[in-house]
Amino acid sequence: MGADIAAQVAAVRAEMLTRPGGLVRHVERVLREALDLAATWDLDPGRTELATWGHDLFRAFAPEEQLRLARETGVPVYPEDERSPVLLHGPIAAAVLHERFAVTDEEALAAVRDHTLGDRRMPLLAKVILIADKVEEHKRRRAYAMRAVRRLAHRDLDLALLCWADWKWVDERTHGWESHPLHWAARTEWVREHHAELAMPGRISDAEFDASAVGVRFQSFQSGF
């Protein structure tokens, strides 16, 4: 771990340790998952630790305090955030990490900012932190589907994100909760990417296709089929 990152991790961890014990234990469980995933996906453990210690710094703050901090740090506030200010704790933490803790690692900041709702385009580190946050031991005991998401995340991180988003969709509809537009935009993009033929060979023109098909028929004819 570089000296800069080590000093930032120590400072952010010290701040997190001033928060309620239950929340600190959650972050410790997330850290175990995040480091496991970081090893699978060849991510720097120091940057992973920095984003993990920082992600819930403002999770336990009162709703009115979260709204105040969001306005103070210039975080955009959607009507959905007004109704549920806890959704702002990631973006607030990212802003404070940048301003007060001098964190300049854009991917670590994105990981902190987007760990609740996700984003259309996420660096690997952000995907790891989001999934680790959702599959830590207590959460996968509460929601069985998170066990499958956890296993999947070590094989296909994007598919794990999409499965989590599907589970979240069902959960929100079941409880009559609204979906945040930022999450919905991210989810829509993940679905589109999943169905895009990214792994398929490039498309060819109809004429090229017909020519190749004639070749195949001719060879088949010659070989007696």
Residue whose CB is less far from Fe ion, 119 or 133: 133
Single out the residue of 161, 187, 182 nearest to residue 81, CA to CA.
182
Contact window for Fe ion (CB under 5 A) among 49-57, 142-150, 162-170, 184-192: 49-57
**Residue 165 C-beta: closest distance to Fe ion, Å:** 16
**Residue 136 C-beta: closest distance to Fe ion, Å:** 8
Contact window for Fe ion (CB under 5 A) among 48-56, 63-71, 206-214, 215-223: 48-56
Contact window for Fe ion (CB under 5 A) among 56-64, 124-132, 148-156, 189-197: 56-64
Contact 50, 13 (CB under 8 A): no
**Residue 116 C-beta: closest distance to Fe ion, Å:** 5
| Residue 81 contacts Fe ion per CB under 5 A | no
Residue whose CB is less far from Fe ion, 7 or 62: 62
Q: Which of 56, 81, 114, 119 binds Fe ion (CB under 5 A)?
A: 56
Contact 129, 111 (CB under 8 A): yes
**Residue 150 C-beta: closest distance to Fe ion, Å:** 15
Contact window for Fe ion (CB under 5 A) among 4-12, 72-80, 128-136, 147-155: 128-136
Sequence-distant (6+) residues with CB within 8 A of 199 are none
**Residue 23 C-beta: closest distance to Fe ion, Å:** 8
- Greatest C-alpha distance within the chain: 79
Tell me the C-alpha distance between 212 and 23, whole Å: 62
Tell me the C-alpha distance between 219 and 90, whole Å: 61
Tell me the C-alpha distance between 163 and 159, whole Å: 6
Single out the residue of 61, 63, 45 nearest to residue 53, CA to CA.
45
Handedness of CA 120, 124, 126, 127 (dihedral sign): positive
Q: Which of 105, 133, 139, 150 binds Fe ion (CB under 5 A)?
A: 133
Single out the residue of 92, 36, 30 nearest to residue 61, CA to CA.
92
Residue whose CB is less far from Fe ion, 8 or 52: 52
Q: Residues in the site for Fe ion, rule: CB under 5 A?
A: 56, 59, 133
